[in-house]
Structure 1
């Protein structure tokens, strides 16, 4: 009896077709996914896209099959319009997710083809920066378009949109001012991706802080400071304000060391010791080094050492090695010429004391007279 009632239900055929359609869609997804992974294993870009799209496609294919069933169902079925609308909303959301993941897969495939863990990673860092910024911008636009399509499926939302467009005066001006930071950062992100004043892993000096670019998002840049702090900078900052980029064209850099010595310090031994220290240092890139007198004060000479390294990190280490080595050399060989503060007074002449003594001895009566007085 119950089976007869179930078979006679108006929705029985539609639900049966829906279950079969979902099962076929899941089976096709499973087999098609394995086949695509096998076919694209020698194509890194397509392989990355297939891997990223597997999860959302698990939702999109069944919803697409269900939408086909709902559209083929009789219009006389109760709530069929609501079911079609709900399935359409889920389809738009799932498709938006799928497109965003496809973009992410393309970006991942491009970055995988250009690894940054190599000695000369300048071109790879440029490609990584462009890919990440453009991919995030594209995904943001896809999400916005998906949200707009969702709203357009509701008649009320269409009417609200039409009324807003019709009364665009003050509301449009307010919306423009409110959206200015968003669009400013979006445009700044596109400018950064195309002109590339900064790239991932670039060494920057911003607001007096030294650090490396760790992440570039759609709205801000994360700078990893040398002491493991993180400085968050809006994208608009890099368009409007000056900053230092130590790795703009290449990572090679020249480091300087300043120290002070006494005027009596001979420079030839220091230059010889500097050559020995620099040539023995693994951080030196074999390009250049020298030692000159950069300045002279009333008490000391200021010496400047220049030495080159392949990167800013190596330059910092090399500067420390040179500084420690030269100070140690002077402490051992020329401690008398280390900078110090001297106070020199006028020496007393012995003859003055002798003449005074002889004068006192030669005139005893006068001393006695003075004593008597």
Structure 2
């Protein structure tokens, strides 16, 4: 009884010492965190996994040293070993979160020129997820290797690893393809977080990139979920591949009688008076002249896709209103000409008579060239043989 009491006191004392030690370290880090963002982030995210890991190690060592033999001792010690492995895996994952926050805080994306920052953010997020997955797999493998029966099967498992890997690769071909596609996108700069893209005829922003899928936030706040392999196998538009500034058009149809220069001057006034325009491109061009009307295309530029959309709508609205107010006659119209039917007078040099056809209206007959073309496209002309009675 005294040995059991001694073991319980040793375990309680070890746990208390571990908790006091962790709390002292936590307070020191919090005090340093008043002057350091890194220390403040560590105090928030590493406190619990650090407390769990240190406490479990202390309890495990106390049982090994102070506790004698008792029923279930080996099972308890084995359980504590598994918990220690899981706690240290949790601690490493929390440290990765801290490092990610430090990197993302240094390269913030809420700035006007954020092209490089978005690329680094995408790579950091993807690397953290891959690393966390590796840590979980390694921790699970180490925990399994603590079982003697599984350790004894190691030789046979390694012997059949080739066949198992082939079967697993075939079974998870789609998943592995998406994982490798995600890594490829993260380091090839095909897309990045916050990129503006057009996929499946939808315009939106890359909201999240994972190892297996990509979330696209559509302009009307819908979410389009696509596998990562979509962006490596199908074409798509990336409006912010090299810079966030983009060009856009606003087209209107007007009548042929429309004076172009006043409309061009009005477009310039609209752009100058709007804070959406970035001051680079403001052009009015005639792109079509068909169907009794002409098409005017206003080409404007903005710093990003969202501002460009609003600018295009503003330009279209102002030009339509200005034309209706100042050049109402320039609105598209349909013209028709009605004439009385007058019989055509015969031409004085036309001696072919009614029903005759001019050779100039024939392509495959009526002339040397026409007959030659007729032979090529219609086959040889049959020649009637002379019959003798």
- The TM-score with structure 2 as length reference comes to 0.83
- 2:327 corresponds to: 334
- 1:150 corresponds to: 143
- 2:275 corresponds to: 282
Label 1:135 to 1:321 Cα distance change in 2 as closer, same or farther (>3 A).
same
Q: 1:74: how far off? A: 5.5
- 1:356 corresponds to: none
User: Superposition pairs for residues 128-207 of structure 1, below 5 Å?
Assistant: 128-168=121-161, 170-207=163-200
| Aligned 8 A contact 1:63 1:91 in 2 | yes
- 1:314 corresponds to: 307
Instruction: Work out the number of aligned pairs and report it.
Output: 342
- 2:364 corresponds to: none
* Partner Cα separation in structure 1 for residue 38 and residue 309 of structure 2: 38
| Aligned 8 A contact 1:46 1:106 in 2 | no
1:254-287 deviation digits (Å, cap 9, x = unpaired)? 1111111111111111111111111111111011
- 1:232 corresponds to: 225
- 1:35 corresponds to: 28
| Aligned 8 A contact 1:46 1:109 in 2 | no
SS at match of 1:343: coil
- 2:9 corresponds to: 16
Q: Where does structure 1 differ by over 4 angstroms across 4 or more consecutive aligned residues?
A: none
- 2:249 corresponds to: 256
1:129-188 deviation digits (Å, cap 9, x = unpaired)? 111111111111111111111111112333445433323454332112123334333322
Structure 1 stretch displaced more, 264-273 or 72-81: 72-81
- 2:373 corresponds to: none
SS at match of 1:10: helix
- 1:325 corresponds to: 318
* Partner Cα separation in structure 1 for residue 163 and residue 253 of structure 2: 67
Q: 1:219: how far off? A: 1.7
Q: Higher helix fraction: Structure 1 or Structure 2?
A: 1
- 2:113 corresponds to: 120
- 2:45 corresponds to: 52
* Partner Cα separation in structure 1 for residue 2 and residue 178 of structure 2: 56
- 2:63 corresponds to: 70
Q: 1:75: how far off? A: 5.6
* Partner Cα separation in structure 1 for residue 16 and residue 175 of structure 2: 43
- 1:268 corresponds to: 261
- 2:362 corresponds to: none
2:77 corresponds, among 81, 84, 107, to 84
1:297-337 deviation digits (Å, cap 9, x = unpaired)? 13111111111111111111111111011111111122222
Question: Structure 1: which 5+ residue stretches go unaligned?
Answer: 1-7, 349-373
SS at match of 1:17: helix
Question: Structure 2: which 5+ residue stretches go unaligned?
Answer: 342-389
Structure 1 stretch displaced more, 155-164 or 313-322: 155-164
Label 1:280 to 1:260 Cα distance change in 2 as closer, same or farther (>3 A).
same
Q: 1:82: how far off? A: 1.3
- The TM-score with structure 1 as length reference comes to 0.86
| Aligned 8 A contact 1:203 1:213 in 2 | yes
SS at match of 2:271: helix
* Partner Cα separation in structure 1 for residue 266 and residue 297 of structure 2: 14
2:209 corresponds, among 187, 212, 216, to 216
